[in-house]
């Protein structure tokens, strides 16, 4: 199993993703958080295949989270999900580093799994799905 950390301020989104991963007998094990602090504490424990974060959140924005992760864990793959990000924000997120894919809300679960599956592929520029 590959542990993925999912950070989003929408509890319904997290519980929906968690149910979907579990019901599909996925190779991915989601660990979900609404708290940036708790998600980053989980990341500190290691063994994280991917860190998935929303962009618009109350404490830190997705680009701030990705920037922090890129500096502290330069090899940690990140995926970003957003429903409201503007082009400038998306550019900041890509420049923050470590971003493998940007996925738009409403989130297509199959595209999320596809993006996760591509993480170990040869380095490619971030994709927008």
Per-residue pLDDT of 41-53, as tens digits, reads 999 999 999 999 9
Distance CA 69, CA 117 (A): 20
Question: Where is pLDDT greater, at 90 or 36?
Answer: 36
pLDDT for 126 equals 55
- As a CATH number, domain 2-128 is 3.40.50.2300
At 63, the pLDDT band (50, 70, 90 cuts) reads confident
Is residue 84 scored above 70 in pLDDT? yes
pLDDT for 13 equals 94
Q: Would you list the domain boundaries of the chain? A: 2-128
At 86, the pLDDT band (50, 70, 90 cuts) reads confident
Is residue 56 scored above 90 in pLDDT? no
Compute the half-sphere exposure of residue 69: CA atoms within 13 Å on the CB side of its CA: 36
Mean per-residue pLDDT over the chain, rounded: 89
Lookup: tokens for 70: 């890129």
């Amino acid at each position: 199993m590959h542990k993925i950390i999912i950070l989003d301020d929408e509890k319904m989104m997290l519980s929906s993703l968690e149910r979907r991963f579990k019901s599909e007998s996925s190779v991915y094990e989601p660990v979900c958080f609404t708290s940036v602090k708790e998600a980053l504490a989980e990341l500190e424990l290691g063994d994280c295949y991917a860190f998935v974060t929303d962009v618009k959140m109350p404490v830190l924005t997705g680009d701030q989270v990705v920037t922090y992760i890129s500096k502290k864990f330069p090899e940690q793959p990140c995926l970003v999900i957003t429903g409201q990000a503007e082009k400038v924000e998306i550019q900041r997120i890509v420049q923050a580093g470590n971003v493998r894919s940007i996925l738009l809300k409403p989130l297509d679960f199959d595209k999320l799994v596809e993006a996760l599956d591509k993480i170990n592929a040869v380095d490619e520029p971030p994709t927008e799905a």
